[in-house]
Amino acid sequence: MTTTAAPADARVLGLAHYAARGVLEHVLARHGVTFTQQVALRTAVTAEGPLTPDALVARIGATLKTAPADAHAALDALRARELLLADGPHLLPTEAGSALLATVTAEAAPLSARIWGDIPADDLAAAGRVLALVTERADRELAALTAPIAGD
């Protein structure tokens, strides 16, 4: 299948993101998990070591560009469902949390394969380079917009 596409810009990127996210959110909804909760759970499960709630909030915020309150709410919801548990100063994924993430990943895999599967590797590599550059530049602009003003 070939598609005549408009040049990549913020709108095209957004449409692709929300289309793919919509597919994932459909899978997540079957399990009563929000997108933010899934990102939080994946962050905890894939971390190289235990993380404090503040470290998780920072990572979630950096990934989703979300307010700390939204990240805390996701962590609270995961704790309430016993998908994360406190262990001293850290939050750890429970067996149920790891199992849920594995289930969601397995359910989403064939959908992702149909979405991404036949795109040529060279096209994916080029898109990856462009998206990495856009992310870097957008992160830099967001940092400038949110930096404290001298004298505040």
CATH code for the domain in which residue 38 is found: 1.10.10.10
Paired residues of 92 in beta bridges = 85
**Structure confidence by residue, pLDDT tens digits, 9-68:** 888 889 999 999 999 999 999 999 999 999 999 999 999 999 999 999 999 999 999 999
56 lies in a domain?
yes
pLDDT tier for residue 146 given thresholds of 50, 70 and 90: confident
Is residue 93 domain-resident? yes
Question: Quick check: is 54 in a domain?
Answer: yes
**Token pair listed for 47:** 């971390």
DSSP code, position 82 = T
Beta strands 84-87 and 90-93 are antiparallel
Domain span at residue 86 reads 24-108
pLDDT (0 to 100) of residue 7 = 82
Inter-residue contact 104 to 33 (CB < 8 Å): yes
User: Would 39 be classed as within a structural domain?
Assistant: yes
* Domain presence at residue 152: no
Residue-level pLDDT at 148: 80
pLDDT, tens digit, 9 for 90 and up, residues 85-143: 999 999 999 999 999 999 999 999 999 999 999 999 999 999 999 999 998 999 899 88
* pLDDT: which is higher, 17 or 148: 17
List residues bridging with 43 in a β-sheet.
none
Write down the pTM of the prediction: 0.85
* Domain count of the fold of the chain: 1
Does the residue 43 lie in any domain? yes
